Amino acid sequence: MTKNFSIQELVPPEVFSERGNAASQLMDIRIVNVAQWLRDKTGKPITINNWSNGGQFKESGLRNFATSTGAKWSQHKYGRAIDLKVEGMQAEEVRQLIRNNWTTLKAIGLTTIEKDTPTWVHIDCRYTGMETLLEVPYQ
């Protein structure tokens, strides 16, 4: 999808198994571009899903509507959200980086972060109609 992110890092294994690279059609390119911007800015590896490399994460990007993970109408289910971990950075450090670069990230399409996730950073590009970053509590 980008120079640093494959489709397997963004969708669960069952979606990739069924759709292959066409699963990219299910992801909002804005959120993928925000992830790539963070990778470029930090220069550090970012983990979203790592199931294809034997890891434990498979629902940190797109989620099936049938999953019990997350909220019923989660932005993940529409391909507009990802949960990420930046190697060597605490979640709050990443959120602060996002706040400090809000103008750039807004132009890419970022609208929302969860403000208190403990070990990961939730970002999404839902429509908010706001000119400021929406910081919602972790649900």
Neighbouring-strand partners of residue 84: 121
Structure tokens given for 82: 């990802």
Inform me whether the pLDDT recorded for 88 exceeds 80. Answer: yes
C-alpha to C-alpha distance for 4 and 18, rounded to whole angstroms: 23
pLDDT at 139: 75
pLDDT at 94: 98
Domains of the chain: 7-136 (3.30.1380)
C-alpha to C-alpha distance for 128 and 24, rounded to whole angstroms: 24
**Which run of H or of E encompasses 81?**
strand 81-86
pLDDT at 59: 98
φ, ψ for residue 135, nearest 5 deg? -110, 110
Cβ atoms of 21 and 114 closer than 8 Å: no
C-alpha to C-alpha distance for 41 and 37, rounded to whole angstroms: 6
Cβ atoms of 86 and 4 closer than 8 Å: no
**Of 116, 83, 12, residue with least CA distance to 74:** 83
- What is the mean pLDDT of the segment spanning 95-110? 98
Neighbouring-strand partners of residue 89: none
pLDDT at 92: 98
- What is the mean pLDDT of the segment spanning 71-95? 97
Q: Output the average pLDDT for the chain.
A: 97
Inform me whether the pLDDT recorded for 134 exceeds 90. Answer: yes
- What is the mean pLDDT of the segment spanning 17-44? 98
Inform me whether the pLDDT recorded for 53 exceeds 80. Answer: yes
